[in-house]
Amino acid sequence: MSDTFDFDGRAVPFEPGQTVGAALIADGVRSWRTTRGRARPRGIFCGIGVCFDCLVTVDGAPNRRACLVPATTDLPVRSQEGTGHDDLDV
Amino acid sequence: MVRLMTVDRLPEVVVIGAGVVGAACAWYAARAGLRVTVVDRGPVAGGTTGAGEGNILVSDKPAGPELELARLSVRCWRDLADAVEGFEYDPKGGLVVAGSAAALDGLRATASGQRERGVTATEVRPDELHEHEPHLADDLAGGMYYPEDAQVQPAAAAARLLRDARAHGAAVRPNVEVTGVLRSRDGLAGVRTSAGDVPAGAVVNAAGTWGGEIAALAGVDVPVLPRRGFVLVTEPLPPGVVRHKVYAAEYVSDVASDDASLQSSPVIESTAAGPVLLGSSRERVGFNRTLSVPALRRIAAHAVRLFPVLAGADVLRAYRGFRPYCPDHLPVIGPDARCPGLYHACGHEGAGVGLAAATGHVVARALTGHPPGTDPTPFLPERFG
């Protein structure tokens, strides 16, 4: 029985050392954010921390690179819309 | 044996430098009916243009020759944005803020002189600052709003102007390095390049921070030196977080300073794509490209001082560039009486994007023998003797 993290309210399993992005892909999730301009779906692209395409909200902090953040049981992951900074909109 | 560079038709004008200044020179010259060839030893916008923020400012220039050039450039950029689209021209206005009563007094004095020259500058009381910038720190002494300040994406501006110049007959040759000049009895007769000779009646030195090297090839002294600056790029933020070009009153004195050590004052603006650009730093360290953590730290701290909300924003990356500065902080623009056929369009320091349009206009007017829209005398290269 592997560990899991919370992704948008459901449990996603992960292996020790696996990144959030890798665990999501392994679980069949292909996209976890939408773009700022046209709300297009995005997930893993480069997979090595360069392209900033796989952004996701981790433990309330937006724009984490899913391909770099190690999955842990206590950090909830939320899919992200746009900048993820709606809190700053005025 | 003379080897000629392969071009469809021999140019009348060779522009050295495919940055935003060279692009503007090429655009205005091509539109004036001249056959233009642009050469650059690297790609389009590969030098300081590609390392800038894209500011078109009247606000940071006290009354004087550079302000006159900036006022002309504001009008020229407006025309360029109408004629050539696609470079994120945004007449967003500038807000200069003062952290102290003394700084506010300085702002008022600067604005007073600028108003006499026709610049619109509106004082903003401390309690009105948030109407302009809702996220601005709430302990500032006041500010000055300049509706004429604008912004472009500089690399896109260079590329679009060059594309449009090509549609009007210009040739653009990246990765072609100028290695010497061709001379006739009357003066310059073109340039020698890594791709062959390019005969031309006029040569425009738009080589930016490297303009002094081109001048030296022609045997004249133009003292352009590098002044390093860093910019931090944040993660994309909602459009309303930073609305105008916002900077601190201290920025103006930093620019005018002759101090070689690190100077830093906050200059902040959002971009069309969402990231916010955080500047600025000034250092005289030659062409040293080493990332300076102290400079980045100060830029970040100053930005957070003006916009506390930025403390929660991630920085994605930093870039650096080398502003081309002259000892008197004025650009070098116009025909060089010491070397007939040579025209300069370089040395704009940190204002190259903003002043590019007027520079292109002034150079093209000189090339075609027409009077320019501003007094070019203060920028002539003969001032260096």
Which chain A residues touch B238 with a CB distance below 8 Å?
Answer: 82-83, 85-86, 88-89
In angstroms, the CA B364 to CA B155 distance is 21
pLDDT digits (tens, 9 = 90+) for A55-73: 999 999 999 999 999 999 9
**Same-domain status, B126 and B251:** yes
**Same-domain status, B168 and B140:** no
**Number of domains, chain B:** 2
Question: Residue B306 belongs to what domain range?
Answer: 94-147+225-325
- Inside any domain, residue A30: yes
**Same-domain status, B319 and B336:** no
Which chain A residues touch B241 with a CB distance below 8 Å?
Answer: 85, 88-90
Rounded to a whole number, what is the distance in Å from the CA of B130 to chain A's nearest CA?
Answer: 11
- Inside any domain, residue A88: no
- Inside any domain, residue B82: no
Q: What CATH number has the domain bearing residue B266? A: 3.30.9.10
Distance of CA B95 to the CA centre of its chain: 19
User: Coil, strand, or helix at residue A6?
Assistant: strand
- Inside any domain, residue A87: no
- Inside any domain, residue A12: yes
In angstroms, the CA A65 to CA B210 distance is 39
**Same-domain status, B267 and B128:** yes
pLDDT of residue A88: 81
Tokens of B54: 């894209």
Residue of B nearest to A51 (CA): B316
Q: What is the mean pLDDT of chain B?
A: 94
Rounded to a whole number, what is the distance in Å from the CA of B245 to chain A's nearest CA?
Answer: 18
Q: Is the pLDDT assigned to residue B23 strictly greater than 90?
A: yes
pLDDT digits (tens, 9 = 90+) for B315-371: 999 999 999 999 999 999 999 999 999 999 999 999 999 999 999 999 999 999 999
- Inside any domain, residue B66: no
Q: Which residues of B touch A (CB under 8 A)?
A: 134-135, 235-238, 240-241, 274, 309, 313-314, 316
A35, A54, A89: best to mutate for the B interface, most B CBs within 10 A: A89
Phi and psi of B202, rounded to 5°? -140, 140
pLDDT of residue A86: 82
Rounded to a whole number, what is the distance in Å from the CA of B29 to chain A's nearest CA?
Answer: 37
User: Coil, strand, or helix at residue A63?
Assistant: strand
pLDDT of residue B4: 77
**What is the arithmetic mean of pLDDT over A44-50?**
94
Confidence of residue B11 (pLDDT cuts 50, 70, 90): confident
Q: Residue B84: which residues within 8 A CB-CB, separation 6 or more? A: B27, B160, B161, B164
- Inside any domain, residue B22: yes
User: Strand B94-98 and strand B245-248: pairing?
Assistant: parallel
Q: Are B171 and B193 in contact (CB under 8 A)?
A: no
* Residue A85 in contact with partner chain B when CB distance is under 8 A: yes
**Same-domain status, B241 and B301:** yes
**Same-domain status, B174 and B314:** no
Which chain B residues touch A88 with a CB distance below 8 Å?
Answer: 135, 237-238, 240-241, 309
Q: Cis bond leading into B280, ω under 30°?
A: yes
- Inside any domain, residue A90: no
**ipTM, interface predicted TM-score of the complex:** 0.81
Residue of A nearest to B132 (CA): A90
- 3-state SS of chain B? CCCECCCCCCCCEEEECCCHHHHHHHHHHHHCCCCEEEECCCCCCCCCHHHCCCEECCCCCCCCHHHHHHHHHHHHHHHHHHHCCCCCCECCCEEEEECCHHHHHHHHHHHHHHHHCCCCCEEECHHHHHHHCCCCCCCCCEEEEECCCEECCHHHHHHHHHHHHHHCCCEEECCCCEEEEEEECCEEEEEEECCEEEECCEEEECCHHHHHHHHHHCCCCCCCEEEEEEEEEEEECCCCCCCCEEEECHHHHHHHCCCCCCEEEEEEEECCCCEEEEEEEEECECECCCCCHHHHHHHHHHHHHHCHHHHHCCEEEEEEEEEEECCCCCCEEEECCCCCCEEEEECCHHHHHHHHHHHHHHHHHHHCCCCCCCCCHHHCHHHHC
Q: Residue B361: which residues within 8 A CB-CB, separation 6 or more? A: B24, B28, B72, B76, B372, B373
pLDDT of residue B154: 98
**Same-domain status, B282 and B306:** yes
**Same-domain status, B252 and B320:** yes
- Inside any domain, residue A25: yes
- Inside any domain, residue A46: yes
pLDDT of residue A37: 86
Which chain B residues touch A36 with a CB distance below 8 Å?
Answer: 236, 274
pLDDT digits (tens, 9 = 90+) for B252-298: 666 666 777 888 889 999 999 999 999 999 999 999 999 999 999 99
- Write down which residue in B325, B343, B375 finishes a domain: B325
- Residue A8's H or E segment, with its range, is none
- Inside any domain, residue B83: no
**Same-domain status, B199 and B114:** no
Residue with the bigger pLDDT between A24 and B8: it is: A24
From chain A residues 38-57, the ones with a CB under 8 A of any chain B CB are 52
**Number of domains, chain A:** 1
- Inside any domain, residue B63: no
**Same-domain status, B135 and B242:** yes
- Write down which residue in B325, B351, B368 finishes a domain: B325
pLDDT digits (tens, 9 = 90+) for B87-129: 999 999 999 999 999 999 999 999 999 999 999 999 999 999 9
**Same-domain status, B231 and B377:** no
Rounded to a whole number, what is the distance in Å from the CA of A61 to chain B's nearest CA?
Answer: 9
Confidence of residue B1 (pLDDT cuts 50, 70, 90): low
In angstroms, the CA A40 to CA B158 distance is 30
Q: In which residue are the tokens 């996209």 written?
A: A31
- Inside any domain, residue B207: yes
- Inside any domain, residue B243: yes
Q: What CATH number has the domain bearing residue A62? A: 3.10.20.440
In angstroms, the CA B231 to CA B302 distance is 12
- Inside any domain, residue B257: yes
Question: Residue A45 belongs to what domain range?
Answer: 3-82
Q: What is the mean pLDDT of chain A?
A: 93
Q: What CATH number has the domain bearing residue B176? A: 3.50.50.60
**Same-domain status, B337 and B347:** yes
- Write down which residue in B280, B303, B325 finishes a domain: B325
**What is the arithmetic mean of pLDDT over A20-37?**
95
